[in-house]
A and B are shown apart, each in its own frame.
Chain A
Amino acid sequence: MATKVVMEALSPTMEEGQVTKWLKGEGDKVASGDTLAEVETDKAVMELVARGDGVLRKIVVPEGTTVEVGSLVAVIGAEDEDISSFAVDTAVPPAVESSDGGAADVAALPTGAPPVPVSGDSDRVKATPVARRMASERSIDLAAVRGSGPGGRVVKRDVEGAVATPPAAAITGPAGFEDVPLTQIRKTIARRLAESTGPVPHFFLTTEIDMERVVEARTALNALDEGPRVSYNDIVLKVIAAALVEHRACNAWWQGDHIRYFNEVHLGVAVAVKDGLITPVLRNAHLKTLRQIAVEVRDLAGRAREKKLQPHEYTGSTFTVSNLGMLDIDQFTGVINPPEAGLLAVGSIVEKPAVEDGQVVVRKRMRVTMSCDHRVIDGAVGARYLQTVRRMLENPLAIVW
């Protein structure tokens, strides 16, 4: 007994469908559940499935042809069956029971490709069970971690250290940055569902830096009397950028389902303007000389106050610096500019007593406070970054080291 293949209604509002592709040809053997053709309606393609076994005897509707729902599109029959009565019959009632047939045919379908086994590389690396578990939780490739335990075994602290640098399994994006997926998108869901506008989970790190040598260096530079005068802020920006190159873990964006680590440093420089605050961006700050920084920051700040910045000049920063030193603020905490993961709040340079070799001496000191997004930057990671900032400011030659 021959089976009619008709244009199925894939929606109550569907009146016609286009046969876009025949996957079986006339004369092919077909079994119930086999996909015969693809049918398109609107922007959806549906597979037309055989409802009977046999041979696809006749294709009535060629590829690219649109027909009404219920029209005969093909005939399935036995190899030697006479189907002449079907070939002309195009006024068949619509097949409305289509969904039932589909569900019943499920078993006939070949199963998908076997799942890809998890890479076994990590198993060959010597590691303690704790280190192995932590590595797995944090998606760190153990093979890429240098073991400091006995016989090169990877121990807990090695894995902890590996967090500071993005794991080897990272997905590489275009040149300027690298995206590292989170192990759990759950974090995003929790954030959004628990509280509709969850705040960035901040924490803060403060350190006091001896600025004597920066003061000397600046005095010497400005004594050259060549071009723009260099401000303390210019030097601080230069150091912050140079230190971020060494600590890429702090030069990143929280992206909801992944973290974007940047190879380039684009510093947002907070500037107070008449009715608020704007943060022009010093692009590629890590590549710029002190002189370039001095010129560019003055230009950006000047135009910011006149409200003449273009949108691209105040978007796309990877880290922000806010300096209230010129307003005599000793220490403050800034609010992170999402999706950036860090901000450094810079206080004023003040003379104060400090202890040096057991003696109380008067030194020029400056306090800086880093705000960190804890989803991206861990405490020790932020602290190590600040150590580098401090080392460079206390010995400015380290910038060119």
Chain B
Amino acid sequence: MSSDLLVVGLSRMAYGETLALQRTLAEARIDGRVTNDMLLLVEHPPVVTLGRSFEKKNLRTPPEELAARGIELFEIERGGDVTFHGPGQLVGYPIYDLNEHKPDLHLFLRQIEECLIRTLGESGVAGRRREGLTGVWVEDRKIASIGIHVKKWITWHGFALNVLTDLSFFHLIVPCGIDEVVMTSMQRELAEQAPHDLWARALDGVMLAFCEVFDQTPQAVTVEDIQYRISNIEY
């Protein structure tokens, strides 16, 4: 049965602000004030985040140096190790109730990978999975990272797809804790074939892929719309 997916375009938003918003929306989804799945799409200013399986050696750069370079640092509740978000990277936070799909976390991770592989395919980039290494790869180069959190089968956190990302930032860390991993972006893979509107295409592609994979219909809403819905039922 097809349901509505509320797509929230946040444009550029600081990591901390988006994190607070995600937690608010996930709570609202858990207690039923929001009854639709949501997909937040956002671009973050430079930030390094440490997931639950973070190992200290994988943060190559001391926190003070990150701060001096204007890069924020967050320790958060998602799965996975250390990662970087920054301009040109399309970050998506699916807040889904897996009870309404399939309560299977591994399947959900594979479905997110499927969405990203389809998005890449639309622009002519051959994304693929690698056994045991969640994320999306182009040959052996990593183009998208995934890390989620689930409570009562409600998901938050999500994926980061390198569209036009300045990849030099990844030298600050050992991405995902995998030594020697080479990061790539759609722009790098396409080189001269990269269309001018790559960002808009990736944005559209991700939204459509989620709708296809989860059999949903997109509904564009603003943050204010959702906050209004939440408050409307609450008071």
For the side of the interface on A, what is the size category? 35 or more
The contact string, 1 if C-beta is below 8 Å from chain A, for chain B 120-160, is 00000000000000110000000000111111110000000
CB interface residues, B 165-204, toward A, < 8 Å: 191-192, 194-197, 199-200, 203-204
Are A254 and B200 in contact (CB-based, < 8 A)? yes
State which of A99, A112, A179, A311 has its C-beta within 8 Å of the C-beta of B28.
A112
Complex Cα–Cα for A193 and B5 (A): 14
Complex Cα–Cα for A35 and B154 (A): 14
Are A184 and B230 in contact (CB-based, < 8 A)? no
Given contacts A44-B79, A45-B79, is CB(A188)–CB(B9) below 8 Å?
yes
Task: Find chain A residues with CB under 8 A from B11 CB.
Answer: 171, 179, 181, 257-258
The contact string, 1 if C-beta is below 8 Å from chain A, for chain B 193-218, is 01111011001100110000000001
Among A10-18, A222-230, A390-398, the stretch in contact with B: A10-18
Q: Is B35 an interface residue (CB 8 A)?
A: no
Task: Find chain A residues with CB under 8 A from B78 CB.
Answer: 43, 45
Complex Cα–Cα for A68 and B193 (A): 48
Among A100-108, A232-240, A285-293, A380-388, the stretch in contact with B: A100-108
CB interface residues, A 240-263, toward B, < 8 Å: 254-258
Are A42 and B200 in contact (CB-based, < 8 A)? no
Are B200 and A339 in contact (CB-based, < 8 A)? yes
State which of B32, B53, B104, B224 has its C-beta within 8 Å of the C-beta of A12.
B104
Complex Cα–Cα for A339 and B195 (A): 9
State which of B12, B106, B231 has its C-beta within 8 Å of the C-beta of A171.
B12
Q: Which residue of B lies closest to A49 (CB)?
A: B152
State which of A40, A171, A184 has its C-beta within 8 Å of the C-beta of B53.
A40
Q: Is A47 an interface residue (CB 8 A)?
A: yes
Are A42 and B197 in contact (CB-based, < 8 A)? no
Are B231 and A257 in contact (CB-based, < 8 A)? no
Are B106 and A14 in contact (CB-based, < 8 A)? yes
Q: Is A365 an interface residue (CB 8 A)?
A: no
Q: Which residue of A lies closest to B81 (CB)?
A: A43
Q: Is B61 an interface residue (CB 8 A)?
A: no
Are B151 and A14 in contact (CB-based, < 8 A)? no
Given contacts A44-B149, A45-B149, is CB(A256)–CB(B107) below 8 Å?
no
Q: Is A52 an interface residue (CB 8 A)?
A: no
CB interface residues, A 280-339, toward B, < 8 Å: 311, 315, 337-339
Complex Cα–Cα for A59 and B184 (A): 42
Q: Determine how close the nearest CB of chain A comes to the CB of B11; give it in whole angstroms.
A: 4
Q: Which residue of A lies closest to B147 (CB)?
A: A43
Can you list 24 residue pairs at the A/B interface with Cβ under 8 Å?
A12-B104, A20-B53, A38-B77, A40-B52, A44-B150, A47-B152, A49-B152, A99-B153, A103-B152, A115-B24, A171-B12, A181-B9, A181-B10, A184-B222, A185-B220, A188-B203, A189-B220, A193-B208, A193-B218, A256-B197, A256-B199, A257-B203, A338-B197, A339-B199
Known: A11-B106, A171-B11; 4 extra A-B contacts, CB below 8 A, are: A11-B107, A42-B134, A258-B12, A339-B196
A-side residues, CB < 8 A to B, are 10-14, 18, 20-21, 35, 38, 40-47, 49, 99, 102-103, 105-107, 109-116, 118, 171, 173-174, 179, 181-186, 188-189, 191-193, 254-258, 311, 315, 337-340
